[in-house]
Amino acid sequence: MTDTTISNAIAVRDTGPGALVAQHRQDIELVMPSHMQKRVGAWIRTTQGLLRRDPKLMEAAQNDPGQFMAVLMDAANLGLTPGTEQYYLVPRWNKKKGCTEVTGVRGYQGEIELMYRAGAVSSVIVEVVYEADRFEYRPGRDERPLHEIDWDAEHRGELRLAYAYAVMKDGATSKVVVLNRGHIAKAKAKSDSASGKYPHLSPWATDTEAMWMKTAAHRLTKWVPTSAEYMREQLRAHAEVAAELRPAPVTPGPQPAGLTDTDEGPIEAEFVDDEEA
């Protein structure tokens, strides 16, 4: 049974948003990065399964199917899977409409995925620091943070910091982003899902550590390429440099007057000492 057959079978059972997702399969596949297009069937089934398991999300999608599809198209365009730590689907209260609607929240794994996909980094490190951890980082002195964890400790205390950095393909370390509770609180306050009518449904409430990491990873994107366009620009630049270094073709100059194609050029000779002649 093919992905298309399975998706259509599921769509028969789903008469609401689930069927809508299946109906827009071609549109979703069209905006997806090429490496994701072969998995569009699994992508759709994951979304449909999430709707069936989450009544609040199903209700929000039914309230505004257009908004729901706009969120899914955004996830598809980024090449991220909805309903995972790459890309959360969250019911959000819309005051003007007087009902919930679906909003998309990019997760920390989604931010990291976009950095890797750009092709400029070899590794991305995103971590949180708890009160019991040892953490040291002095800009200008330290290339990377020192983070030591007592893995035997039953409780590491409260969340204290989040940090992120990337190791580039040439071995260099990117800017190190370190955020404290105040930075995290400001980011959370700007989140529609966390400050809406249903904050308990927000990933800020259901997956707090991951959202701390997402905030640090998102700040890192200011310093690390996250678009495949970066790789295309790099390839284009390499091609231009190679073209400049390529030797220009030699065009034969005009032949000396009186010399035809059948004439022989100068005969090679060597000087002979007169005394030996």
136-187 confidence digits (pLDDT tens): 999 999 999 999 999 999 999 999 999 999 999 999 999 999 999 999 999 9
Between 233 and 68, the higher pLDDT residue: 68
Q: Is the pLDDT of residue 260 over 90?
A: no
Q: Which stretches does DSSP call E strand in 45-120?
A: 87-94, 99-106
CA distances from 107 to 88, 114, 182 (A): 7, 11, 20
CB-based burial, 72-82: b 16+ in 10 Å, e otherwise: bbebbebbbbb
Angle between helices 208-220 and 181-189 (to 10 degrees): 90
Q: Is the pLDDT of residue 43 over 90?
A: yes
Q: Looking at residues 14-34, what average pLDDT do you find? A: 91
Domain boundaries, the chain: 1-106, 108-245
CA distances from 143 to 104, 147, 220, 275 (A): 35, 13, 15, 77
Residue 191 pLDDT class (50, 70, 90 cuts): confident
**For the chain, what's the residue count?**
277
Nearest of 94, 28, 88, 105 to residue 64 by alpha carbon: 94
Q: Looking at residues 263-277, what average pLDDT do you find? A: 40
Whether 105 and 80 have beta carbons less than 8 Å apart is answered as no
89-130 confidence digits (pLDDT tens): 999 999 899 999 999 999 999 999 999 999 999 999 999 999
User: How far apart (Å, rounded) are the C-alpha atoms in residues 80 and 122?
Assistant: 20
User: How far apart (Å, rounded) are the C-alpha atoms in residues 28 and 44?
Assistant: 9
pTM score: 0.72
Q: Is the pLDDT of residue 3 over 90?
A: no
Residue 218 pLDDT class (50, 70, 90 cuts): very high
Q: What is the pLDDT of residue 158?
A: 97
Q: Which stretches does DSSP call E strand in 47-175?
A: 87-94, 99-106, 121-130, 134-136, 146-148, 159-168
